Amino acid sequence: MNTVPPRRFSLRDDLGDEVSIIRPVRRVVSLVPSLTESVAATCPGLLVAATQWCTHPADLSVERVRGTKNPNLRRIVELAPDLVLCNREENRRADVQRLRAAGIPVWVTRIETLDAAFPSLNRLFTEALGVPAPPWLHVAENVWAAAPPEPARATVIPIWRKPWMVVGRDTFTGDLARRLGLRLVHADRPERYPRVDEAELTRGVELVILPDEPYVFTETDGPEAFPGIPYALVEGRSLTWYGPSLVTARETLTRQIAAASIR
């Protein structure tokens, strides 16, 4: 029986940190929902654990190691993964450092735009995991290559209430919204996810996008704060996740935005 002998590779992740990876990679823990879905859709046999927020695919059956901000580090070390997948925004640097100190290789992605998402995911597969780039990645890149519609609509995308927090500058969601022909009215604030009061929330807004994550906005929770302004309830995964969802996200969000109504 022919087996592939293990080999050690010294690579650099999206942050430029050196990561020593032994191939073939056979055991992966993902602490990022988007990356969990990406790996599950491409090489599902590699995943041994994920966070409780890793909801896709719906039938994913792996051990859960708590959340993105409070992973069970002790259990992750016990699982002895060949690689742990993290993201600069979604995971804490301290957790990455503790895992590395325990001898666990950690690959950290940095994805703040669609243009960054595609090469980052390509490197994740071809370099970190040592497998071919998945066909869905090429399809998704083509889907988002088209120019955004004009003129841009002045838009607010709340992600939380009590207090109100909205999508601002230098965010993946903000870049995706721009590709959909939306102009975020709070993108001139210094914060990436600024807190705003009720007056700021609606000032100059032509369209409201209400996702179902991280805050679950619904017909009875959210639209009432924007009287007389068209609003669209959208799938949060399509708006905030990078991975296989990008294949259908543009069509899904465009349809949901087109169905915007006024309360």
Q: Is the pLDDT of residue 261 over 90?
A: no
Segment 34-56, tens digit of pLDDT: 999 999 999 999 999 999 999 99
Q: What is the pTM of this model?
A: 0.93
Q: What share of the chain is helix, strand, coil (3-state, %, to 5)?
A: 35, 20, 45
Cα radius of gyration (the chain)? 20
Q: Given this model, what pLDDT does residue 2 score?
A: 54
Beta strands in the chain (DSSP E): 7-12, 18-23, 28-30, 47-50, 63-64, 83-87, 106-109, 153-156, 158-160, 165-166, 182-184, 207-211, 231-234
H helix and E strand count, the chain: 9, 13
Q: Given this model, what pLDDT does residue 60 score?
A: 95
Q: Given this model, what pLDDT does residue 7 score?
A: 87
CATH fold of 9-133, please? Rossmann fold (3.40.50)
Share of the chain above pLDDT 90, in %: 94
Segment 89-104, tens digit of pLDDT: 999 999 999 999 999 9
Domain spans, the chain: 9-133, 153-258
Average pLDDT, the chain: 95
What CATH number is given for 153-258 in this structure?
3.40.50.1980
Segment 128-169, tens digit of pLDDT: 999 999 999 999 999 999 999 888 999 999 999 999 999 999
Q: Is the pLDDT of residue 3 over 90?
A: no
In sequence order, what are the residues at sequence separation of 6 or more whose Cβ sits closer than 8 angstroms to the Cβ of residue 260? 207, 208, 230, 231, 232
- Strand, helix or coil at 2? coil
Token pair 């995943």 is found at 47
pLDDT band for position 83 (cuts 50, 70, 90): very high
pLDDT band for position 179 (cuts 50, 70, 90): very high
Q: Is the pLDDT of residue 215 over 80?
A: yes
Domains 9-133 and 153-258 share a fold: yes
Segment 211-231 shows an average pLDDT of: 96
Q: Is the pLDDT of residue 4 over 70?
A: no
Q: Given this model, what pLDDT does residue 136 score?
A: 98
In sequence order, what are the residues at sequence separation of 6 or more whose Cβ sits closer than 8 angstroms to the Cβ of residue 53? 33, 67, 68
Considering only 1-10, 42-51, 110-119, 165-174, which range has the smallest mean pLDDT?
A: 1-10
CA 23 to chain centre: 26
- Contacts for 59-64 with beta carbons within 8 Å, 24 or more apart? 60/36
